[in-house]
Amino acid sequence: MNDPVPAPLSTTIRRLNADEAAACVDALADVLIDCVQGGASVSFMWPLSRADARAFWRGVAEGVAREERILLIAEDAQGNLVGTAQLIVGMPENQPHRADVAKMLVHRKARRQGLAQRLLAAVEDAARAAEKTVLVLDTATGSDAERLYQRAGWQRVGMVPDYALMPDGAMCGTTFFYKRVR
């Protein structure tokens, strides 16, 4: 596999506040639906209804408002939302130093441009700013995302076979990773 070409500088990544997150629900739903339709194992089955996708993102916006989540988006030069990632920072009191990376999604039309690498770096920067030092994530075993995390210095913890379903109903393994950020 060739390394991705860096994302054009005209693609911007930014953090959304609660009002902005609520205003982006439809665009975020578009990205989620595209990724699930494309076979991404991100907690949803295909077909994914627009209502369900919107409900998910409304819940995320509420989590941003409660300061339990950090929501990042990537926008192309035309201002279209083409990617997103979350950092779940609302952890139990015995884990104030930890956060989970969740729902890192890139629309299929924006892939192979290094955007996922930039989103991941932005998540790690957001974690440092939030004083989180240990990050955890999981991804479908054998996926492009698994290779991305390994290239980015994440440590593979292990794999659980048949952990989840792919959007088409097939079983898939899940690989868990962590990374210390300072």
Q: What is the pLDDT of residues 132-141, one digit of tens each?
A: 999 999 999 9
CATH number at residue 61: 3.40.630.30
Q: Give me the number of domains the chain comprises.
A: 1
Q: Is residue 28 part of a domain?
A: yes
Q: Is residue 149 part of a domain?
A: no
pLDDT of residue 4: 45
SS percent in the chain: helix, strand, coil, step 5: 35, 30, 35
State the pTM of this model.
Answer: 0.94
pLDDT of residue 1: 40
pLDDT of residue 141: 98
Alpha carbon 180 to chain centroid, angstroms: 18
Closest to 70 (Cα-Cα) out of 10, 152, 13: 13
pLDDT of residue 9: 60
pLDDT of residue 73: 98
Q: Is residue 153 part of a domain?
A: no
Ranges of residues in the chain with a pLDDT under 50 are: 1-7
Whole-angstrom distance, CA of residue 79 vs CA of residue 178: 32
- Find out whether 118 and 7 touch, Cβ atoms under 8 Å: yes
Q: Is residue 160 part of a domain?
A: no
Residues 6+ apart with CB under 8 A from 137: 100, 101, 102, 104, 149, 154, 176, 177, 178
Domain that holds residue 98: 12-133
Q: Is residue 147 part of a domain?
A: no
Q: Is residue 114 part of a domain?
A: yes
